[in-house]
Amino acid sequence: MGQLLPPMSLLLLVAAGMRAADLQKAKLLLDPIWDRVLRRDSVTLKCQGAHPTGNSSTTQWWHNDSLIPNEAPSYFIAAAEAPDSGEYRCQTGLSALSDPVRLDVHTSWLLLQAPQWVFQEGDPIRLRCHSWMNRTMHKVQYFQNGIGRMFFHNNSEFHIPKAALKHSGSYFCRGIIGTKNESSEAVNIAVQATSSISAFFLPWHQVMFCLVMGLLFAVDTGLYFSVQRDLRRLVKDRRSGKVTWSQDS
């Protein structure tokens, strides 16, 4: 039994280590959700993360790796300008630094927006043709790889209820603002097959846990059989009167 304790304590150590590494990252969200905006658009960045109890602790914000003088849980950009472009990160009192979130401020009349640029098969795709200062637009058309996919007399979002692989490609939109015929820049949308995804997205610590458990089981099983074999040999040797271990000395 004494031989089984070290693996058990190793297991406890592994479990404790996993808990420490699990200090959750803060989550940075954009509101509205668009990660590319036009000049003068307003954007609110929100930081979600645990705070120490009994202290409404501050939130720290970084823009392109320099600290922003803002300690509130959200950061409001009233009228975006080009220098607001870049990577943002945040952290609360009891969270790890968030993953970076990119915001790009564009200077143009039209901008194609989407909640994300990579979709899984079956996801809904939502495209928005955003005009500068929300100017009224007519005859709005969405294009995929240069081919017109959707036309609206007025400006509307283009929704694809279930993404399929054929929806990957380069998209832009076009419309009439006043008397001007304007087009957005093209952006790429990728639709990925779902079948191969689940295997890639298993959390690494679950994989590690299974590996460690498997290893411990193998070690314990090995110990068990080797002890059993030794005991059996000892019993057999004693029965047959052989004292093999004392022959050398």
Ligand X SMILES: *[C@@H]1O[C@H](CO)[C@@H](O)[C@H](O)[C@H]1NC(C)=O
Q: How many residues sit in the footprint of ligand X (CB under 6 A)?
A: 8
φ, ψ (nearest 5 deg) of residue 46: -120, 135
If you ran DSSP here, which 8-state letter would residue 178 be given? T
Q: Residues 6 or more apart from 224 whose CB is under 8 A from it? A: none
Contact call for residue 134 and ligand X (CB under 6 A): no
State the alpha helices, DSSP H only, in the chain.
Answer: 5-21, 197-200, 204-239, 244-247
Closest CB to ligand X among residues 138, 229 = 138
Distances (CA, A) of 237 to 41, 113, 154, 227, 248: 87, 81, 95, 15, 16
Least distance in Å: CB of 155 to ligand X?
9
Q: Residues 144-183: x/- map of binding to ligand X (CB under 6 A)?
A: ---------xx---------------------x----x--
Cβ of residue 133: shortest distance to ligand X, in angstroms? Answer: 17
How many other CB atoms are there within 10 angstroms of residue 43's CB atom?
A: 21
CB of 62 vs ligand X, minimal distance in Å: 17
Residue 53 binds ligand X, judged by CB under 6 A:
no
* Segment contacting ligand X by CB under 6 A, of 32-40, 54-62, 96-104, 232-240: 54-62
List interacting residues with ligand X (CB under 6 A). Answer: 55, 57-58, 139, 153-154, 176, 181
